């Protein structure tokens, strides 16, 4: 019974070419221009698990879903998560069978994504016409590689 009466919205997925949306703890605020030149100099910035520092993905994998990289989403239990969208996250493992129930990005289905290092729940793996990861911003950190 899920989803039949929902209008199918087309997801807009674009690569982000500009600086980090996420604040980097312990670093000075940088302007977009500074970030841009840093990135172009080839400084590798990686996204790690905040618990075990397992490398999950890279800042270059950030994407915008429906015009935004960051989304604030509420689950059926009333818990609110702020997630950032990434095209790939090789340091995550997906658990469970993909389901469309309560999907925040219909018609995409979701699975729970956990850290392959410490198994902490880091977000969700969305699959449909392609795939992406929504990672909980409070459970990840951006580090210079």
Residues in the site for Zn ion, rule: CB under 5 A? Answer: 49, 51-52, 54, 115, 117-118, 120
Residues whose CB is less than 8 angstroms from the CB of residue 32 and which lie 6 or more positions away in sequence, other chains included: 18, 19
Smallest distance from the beta carbon of 131 to Zn ion, in angstroms?
21
Smallest distance from the beta carbon of 53 to Zn ion, in angstroms?
7
Residues whose CB is less than 8 angstroms from the CB of residue 95 and which lie 6 or more positions away in sequence, other chains included: 111, 112, 113, 114
- Nearer Cβ to Zn ion, position 30 or 53? 53
- Nearer Cβ to Zn ion, position 12 or 118? 118
Smallest distance from the beta carbon of 109 to Zn ion, in angstroms?
24
Q: How far apart are CA 41 and CA 31, in angstroms?
A: 16
Pairing of strands 109-115, 121-128: antiparallel
- Nearer Cβ to Zn ion, position 105 or 133? 133
């Amino acid at each position: 019974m899920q989803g039949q009466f929902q209008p199918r919205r087309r997801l807009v997925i674009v690569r982000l070419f500009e600086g980090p949306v996420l604040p980097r703890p312990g670093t000075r605020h940088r302007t977009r221009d500074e970030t841009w030149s840093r990135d172009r100099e080839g400084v590798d910035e990686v996204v790690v698990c905040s618990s075990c520092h397992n490398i999950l993905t890279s800042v270059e994998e950030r994407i915008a879903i429906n015009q935004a990289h960051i989304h604030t989403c509420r689950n059926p239990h009333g818990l609110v998560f702020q997630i950032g969208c990434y095209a790939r996250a090789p340091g995550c493992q997906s658990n469970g069978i993909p389901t469309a129930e309560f999907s925040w990005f219909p018609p995409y289905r979701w699975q729970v994504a956990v850290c392959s290092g410490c198994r902490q729940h880091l977000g969700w793996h969305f699959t449909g016409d392609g795939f992406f990861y929504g990672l909980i911003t409070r459970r990840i950190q951006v580090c210079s590689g």
